[in-house]
């Protein structure tokens, strides 16, 4: 049996807003529900947040604590993911939500 090509789509969501206030757990639950309904499943890494560091336009290092959501998809609908990332950016009051897709295969 030949494995079908798939993509692993990862979304990085901040735990806190830009003022440092934690987002309510229900916001992450909504994302989990939406991805499960759209793709039949999701993996959420919420117990051990990742730390993201980046330089802004002023060369100041910014820091975020993030949770990671992953979904495996057969067809990568880039337009859908761009729209969803935009919706999440508005919902989480961010300039941008990082979404990336990696080729993978189910073994």
Residues 6+ apart with CB under 8 A from 10: 68, 69, 70, 99, 100, 101, 102
What is the rounded average pLDDT of the residues 16-32? 93
pLDDT at 1 over 70: no
**DSSP 8-state secondary structure symbol assigned to residue 54:** E
- Output 54 or 7, whichever has higher pLDDT: 7
pTM here is: 0.85
Percent pLDDT > 70 in the chain is 95
CATH class of 5-105: alpha beta
Nearest of 2, 14, 4 to residue 72 by alpha carbon: 4
Strand, helix or coil for residue 106: coil
- The pLDDT value recorded for residue 69 is 96
Residues 54-81: tens digit of each pLDDT: 677 888 777 778 999 999 999 999 999 9
Domain boundaries, the chain: 5-105
User: Looking only at Cα atoms, what is the longest distance across the chain?
Assistant: 52
């Amino acid at each position: 049996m030949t494995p079908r090509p798939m993509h692993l789509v990862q979304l990085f969501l901040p735990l806190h807003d830009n003022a440092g206030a934690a987002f309510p757990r229900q916001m992450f639950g909504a994302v989990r529900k939406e991805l499960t309904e759209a793709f039949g499943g999701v993996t959420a890494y919420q117990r051990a947040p990742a730390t993201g560091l980046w330089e802004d336009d002023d060369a100041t290092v910014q820091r975020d604590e993030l949770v990671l959501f992953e979904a495996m998809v057969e067809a990568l609908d880039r337009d859908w993911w761009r729209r969803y990332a935009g919706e999440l950016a508005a919902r989480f009051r961010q300039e941008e939500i990082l979404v990336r897709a990696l080729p993978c295969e189910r073994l």
